[in-house]
Structure 1
């Protein structure tokens, strides 16, 4: 979701928003990028002006017309330069005409690119019904890029650019393999519609989904650009939202009917990772350590890099800041506009500017508070290390003894209502409110609701990079349970900062071992089917094993700091079980076991400190 429009919305909701730092005082970059290094690529403006041509219509095979506009290089008087240019295509669901959320990039246009912006079907001023990356919409992407490649202002080569929704459309477009499509620059894209965001751990994401669908709907009824068909189009959008897609999907998901609460064809269609193996053009992916698509961004890189030149940049971002690459340049990493210019000059213009030579993977490390580079993801030097949740609430490399006690937390659905997670899953909007609970997890670590297991102070820096798995042994006095696992860093003054987390509904614990990830023979990223057929009863007071996927991260627990794992029964609004599941876990007591027969633990991908050269 574009940062500017969300900041505009946030400003109407909250007061006293703080500006983000620019990162200019950060230390130098570290890491082994296989000898590859970042550099700042710049090319002066070739044209002083930008001319906007609106009111374009692109007719689809079924007769539906999509609304489009194109920004073209212009002279100082605003006159269009009449020649063909390489094209940058952005397909958006956020109404290309809304000034606060531009779907074109003047920085690129002034350097000799035409930028075509298109409202996808059922959004903005485009006709039809919106169904969020459905099959018909995906077919439109192919028709649009074909149209773009044949216009008089196009030289027949097309690249795609944009954030969030506009990044997701790029991946589907690339999977069509149109010969004109030469490069992708996807900023904070989704990989798996079910697991990344909508039903993480089998629970409805109450924080983001109503906000997102509401945003698309609201922007779709703003007739910013003059269009005689606007009244009819807007009425069609509202009718579809109420009767066809947005309201019915949200309502049925929250209740747990209609099948939306289980993974299946509906969500597979809306998961770009399912088509990633068809992407064969150079692809640049930008992600965030606490983005709403935190889980999927490195998975997209991993899948696409098997077939083409692919780069991954992950910053210290939630969705708002990740959409604009906040804080860049930093640690020799340029800002996103300059990276995009380098990417498109290389792959659309055919200029040898060194784009392929920049590091394959660049990640920010919490704790070290800087970027580091490496040759791939997961980190090639990562090794599985297991930490045990002990009965005395310590976190230890030593397995528990026979008689260690379990720890009990109360089941209630609103735990974590003010946390880093709350800010993350509202795309960073609520995090703009200056509340300490968005930066510190201490408030949530009330042992009645979230029990904390903590290491001794680290004797030296401890580096983690990649996906994490918690193996919990629990029982409940209810019929089912939700489980939250947070990983935090504890400073010497006792402040607990959340780094990453994972949630899971206990009855959806079944794992597909063949699709899960292993490191050193240990499962480190479980893959849950999340189908109705995969449900397994929990039973009252019965001990069950839960493999919980904790989303990937990169961090350093500094010398003198401590690593903490907290376990609770909910993480609102990140996850709220559908009503049909909530009634089975609404009230109860959950025991987390820590004995030799039931050794609850967490396995992390530890990276040798030597892999991160020190300043």
Structure 2
């Protein structure tokens, strides 16, 4: 059954904010893949039916940045065909909604380029106007698919596993087939979060017809970016997320009235899969196999496959995003192998970065680069790389990184990440730090060890709680209205701090940071949470970035770490069960804590603060075996000539 939507501009504007907020709340952890309608089965390319071709594109008008502006809309409405089945190689049927352009209430005949998004968050939500409206009205067909084991699709949800990778390839080739009377054979992928992640899996399969992708806020490494940062469990979201997606799969879907037998069969199958997937939650908490990195996580990590991607890739990340670590790594790998790529990394959380990627504009909410309308950037990308519209200015930006320097509040560009002007410098811990009394950060000065008291509930009200809730509460009176959610001065009292006063010129840095500490503890294990903060003249402490480590997971693989001038600047830990080893009682050992990348300019009169605690609750919580070994695990932080401790900063000229 086809329903026609021909809502005019006024209606769209009235509903935009409400739908954007509700839809993005479901979509911000999403993977969305558009899929064409009609017959079931993955179609093979064949003779094209005789249908009219779409009209030529209207000329775009110029705008300030580089002579590009979104071309005018060609069509005045959108048709949605719901619950179109697509059969996978193993016989499982995925359901798709297909959005096509209309004029005066009638579907426009002809072949169009196709954009696919794949989601576990119920495709119906992501095919509501105004989401995708701008693309459809400019001559794209949108195919939105419920991934295997979710929504109205059959099968069992593989939690990003290999069946989903193969499904993506099948969906793209189905959409590109000339058996689809509305497809011209050219396909792009788009989507946010989950929908960005599975673009990377799909593109690595190199499906026929795929021309370009635009993943927004995707992860790179499931374990290190999300589930097990520092070898600790992501208590705040990972179990709840697993339960939420599994729960969505057993809700009644739009296919229930049309084909109740199949819909009920799918719900039962989803229920069975949910029961199995939810067993992972106690397994993580109790220190089972899922508490450690393994082949299971690597299968579900885009960085495992990214070197196989050959199509142009537009990456959008957030400097306060849940995937703050992984998205820049994806850019590095794509750029190094010569794949056409651009990377925009803004001062955004997960939800805020998702808004322009959904093609929705909320003025005043998004901090955009000068001369760039993020909501139109995907259109430009797909017009050039999918449609083939010449765009020399976009070609010249290949490998460009556009990033926001916080503190200076300026957008900057570079041709690599971290930028080429970065120089790594050590800042040593010194002085005697105690609660409420900072030690020093700068040149090495000997001192006796400081003691970081074991506090499992440190971080309870901090930037971590705000950031790692993913949506961050930016809409309305959210958590950001609670002072301690954005000002860490209160949380700093739960550990120790070391301050570096900034005088004369700003202290600028961009990239990941390593904290190389000499530590000891009487316990078999303990944890470190390491934060970098900008302390203003008023005493406010704004968290720039952070890193985490369970001391029993301290083993370092130098060959996989990033080393510059003999210094480890981005450590890599195996986080496997085999690499875990208890701390020797009261014996100093060296550890390296990976602090996630940031770009910041600490202004004169401010201080760069290193804050060290043992907890980050509720964001992270050690599995029970680690917790048992950590009780009472005060950590001595050494900083003398024999046992130095420092951070390695990626500084830039000021």
Q: TM-score, normalised by structure 2?
A: 0.85
102-111 or 365-374: bigger deviation: 102-111
CA contact (8 A) 1:414 1:573 kept: yes
Q: CA deviation at 1:557?
A: 0.4
Give the corresponding residue for 1:255: 286
The structure-2 alpha-carbon separation of the partners of 1:42 and 1:566, relative to structure 1 and needing over 3 Å to count, comes to: same
CA deviations 1:248-269 (Å, max 9, x no partner) are 1112011111x11111110100
Partner of 2:602: 557
* Rounded Cα–Cα distance in structure 1 between residues aligned with 2:114 and 2:503: 52
| Aligned 1:85-100 pairs, distance under 5 A | 85-98=112-125
Cα separation, 1, equivalents of 2:150 and 2:322 = 22
Aligned counterpart for 2:147 among listed residues 114, 120, 124: 120
SS state of the match for residue 42, structure 1? coil
Q: Does 1:428 align with 2:466?
A: no
Q: Distance in 2 between matches of 1:166 and 1:450?
A: 38
Quick check: 1:71 aligned with 2:99?
yes
Q: 1:44 aligns with which of 46, 58, 72?
A: 72
Whether 1:187 aligns to 2:185 is no
Matched, 1:276 2:303: no
Name the CA distance, whole Å, in 2 between partners of 1:278 and 1:131: 22
Equivalent of residue 264 in structure 2, options 231, 250, 269: 231
**1:165 counterpart (179, 194, 217):** 194
How far does residue 5 in structure 1 lie from its aligned partner after superposition? 4.2
- Asked if the contact 1:72–1:115 (Cα under 8 Å) also holds between the matched residues in 2, the reply is yes
* Alpha-carbon spacing, 1:220–1:333, altered in 2? closer, same or farther (3 Å): farther
Per-residue CA shift, 1:135-172, capped at 9, x if unaligned? 11111111111111112211001000010000001001
Structure 2 Cα separation of the partners of residues 269 and 256 of structure 1: 20
- Cα 1:248–1:603, aligned 2, differ >3 Å: closer, same or farther? same
Counterparts of 1:99 and 1:309, CA distance in 2: 28
* TM superposition shift of 1:329: 6.2
What is the rounded CA distance, in whole Å, between the counterparts of 1:395 and 1:95 in structure 2? 52
Instruction: Find the aligned partners of 2:463 and 2:232 in 1 and give their Cα distance.
Output: 18
TM-align CA RMSD: 2.1
Specify every segment of 5 or more residues in structure 2 that has no aligned partner in the other structure, as ranges.
1-18, 28-63, 357-361, 433-437
For 1:106, which of 113, 133, 147 is the aligned residue? 133
Partners of 2:65 and 2:372 within 8 A in 1: no
* 2:396 alignment partner, one of 357, 363, 366: 357
2:491 aligned residue (440, 444, 448): 444
Aligned mates of 2:124, 2:374 — CA distance in 1 = 23
Retained in 1: the 8 A contact 2:176–2:208?
no
Q: CA deviation at 1:101?
A: 7.7
Match of 1:298 among 328, 332, 340: 328
TM-aligned CA deviation for residue 38 of structure 1: 6.0
CA distance in 1, matches of 2:90, 2:444: 63
Distance 1:54 1:421 in 2: 40
Range 478-487 or range 513-522, more displaced: 513-522
Tell me the alpha carbon deviations over residues 11-65 of structure 1, each in whole angstroms, 9 at most, x when there is no partner: xxxxxxxxxxxxxxxxxxxxxxxxx976653111011111101120011121111
Mean CA deviation greater in 459-468 or 36-45: 36-45
Q: Which deviations, in whole Å up to 9, do the C-alpha atoms of 1:531-551 show, x marking residues without a partner?
A: 122123212211111100000
C-alpha deviation, 1:473, in angstroms: 1.1
- Which consecutive unaligned segments of at least 5 residues does structure 1 have? 11-35, 610-615
Give yes or no for the alignment of 1:314 onto 2:345: yes
Which residue of the partner structure matches residue 13 of structure 1?
none
Please name the residue that 1:345 is paired with.
383
Matching residue of 2:43:
none
Distance 1:88 1:391 in 2: 58
Partner of 1:417: 460
- In the alignment, the residues of structure 2 paired with residue 39 and residue 471 of structure 1 have an alpha-carbon distance, to the nearest angstrom, of 48
Large movers: runs of 4+ above 4 Å? 5-10, 36-40, 99-104
> Does 2:433 correspond to 1:390?
no
Instruction: Tell me if the contact between 2:497 and 2:609 (Cα under 8 Å) persists in the aligned partners.
Output: yes
- 1:321: how far off? 0.7
CA contact (8 A) 1:202 1:504 kept: yes
Residue matched to 2:14: none
Supply the distance in 2 between the matched residues of 1:65 and 1:100 (Cα, whole angstroms): 19
Alignment of 1:352-501 (within 5 A): 352-353=390-391, 354-358=393-397, 360-392=400-432, 393-401=438-446, 404-429=447-472, 432-433=478-479, 434-446=481-493, 449-501=494-546
Higher RCO (CA < 8 A, seq sep 6+)? 1
Task: State the 1:501 CA deviation.
Answer: 0.1
Counterpart among 552, 567, 582 of residue 612 in structure 2: 567
Query: Distance between the aligned counterparts of 2:592 and 2:25, measured in 1?
Result: 40
Residue 529 of structure 1 and its aligned partner are, at CA, apart by 0.9
* Number of residues of Structure 1 aligned to a counterpart in Structure 2: 575
Superimposed CA distance per residue, residues 495-554 of structure 1 (whole angstroms, 9 cap, x where no aligned partner): 100010000011111111111112233110001111122123212211111100000110
Q: Identify if the C-alpha distance between structure 1 residues 463 and 226 changes in structure 2 by more than 3 Å, giving closer, same or farther.
A: same
Out of 464-473 and 371-380, give the one that drifted further: 371-380
**Partner-residue secondary structure (3-state), 1:148:** helix
- Aligned residue for 2:165? 138
Contact 1:187–1:322 (Cα < 8 Å) also in 2: yes
